[in-house]
Chains A and B, each alone.
Chain A
Amino acid sequence: MTENRTIPAPHIEEETRPFWDGIRDGKLLVKYCRTCEAPHYYPRSLCPHCGSEDTYFKESDGRAHIYSFSVFHAAPIPYAIAYVTLAGTDISMMTNIVNCDFDSLEIGQEVKVCFVETEGEGPPVPMFEPA
């Protein structure tokens, strides 16, 4: 299934630029904290768990499973919004599930990251498809 919906380009701040640069390079970068060692999402300069400013990006392998999802049937072009939990972590990110049969989606289903173009000169955004 082709994603025909127009995706607005994300607004980039300096603190999130490495994340979007990573996406342009085909990598999903996740922010970790050196102080409490926990990952977090969305990426921040200050760790939302412990407040430390000693945070860094680490590449994820892009594997995840669906935490929850909803297919928006009432939209002009139906789409699936989801939270997916990144493999080996306890953090979930909001995303879309694409390249799939909406009727076959299930909580717990294994998915993998893919990168979908946005409007204009913006970077792609991380979406997920069945693994």
Chain B
Amino acid sequence: MEPDDRIKAQLMAERDLGRTLDRMAQQILELTDPDADNAADAFALVGMQTRGVHLARRLAARIREGDDVDLPVGVLDVTMYRDDVRLRLNQPQIRETHIPVDLTGRHVVLVDDVVYTGRTARAALDALMDLGRPASIRFLVIVDRGHRELPISTDIVGRRVPTLPGEEVRVRVREVDDREGVWLVETPRPRGDDADSA
């Protein structure tokens, strides 16, 4: 959690998050043609920094174990494409972008932890378009908390959670956090649609 978060509810325990990822891995496989034997060449997962990257890697691991399909996983940082870079006092740190395959002609599943205003997803779409011309882009999030400011929709959703202004949804993963699960918190700071707080 962030230092001044007040926890209002736990939305998913570690076990629930695991089951949600199991189900989402199945949904990704359903997108791929079950008869096609080249899913690894036609699809790619792209995780958004920071937690989306770890979620994408876990989804890929489940798909590999369950169905022996090795989907490539890319890492995307959208900072260069954000619409609020110059509204902030300090420039956000640019993190790694690494897409191991050519996205042109591939079906891309974009993975993030939370969708809120849709501005981060908008930036991600622009970034992906500059990296190639995907055959399609689908959007996967663990939590859709509503309040969209742009016409961005989701394709695979773990849970839809109606939220109030002043509330935030925190997805925490073992790879970078000291705990694992999803929490609804109240925070005094007004924050935008951010990779860490959405």
Same complex origin of A and B: no
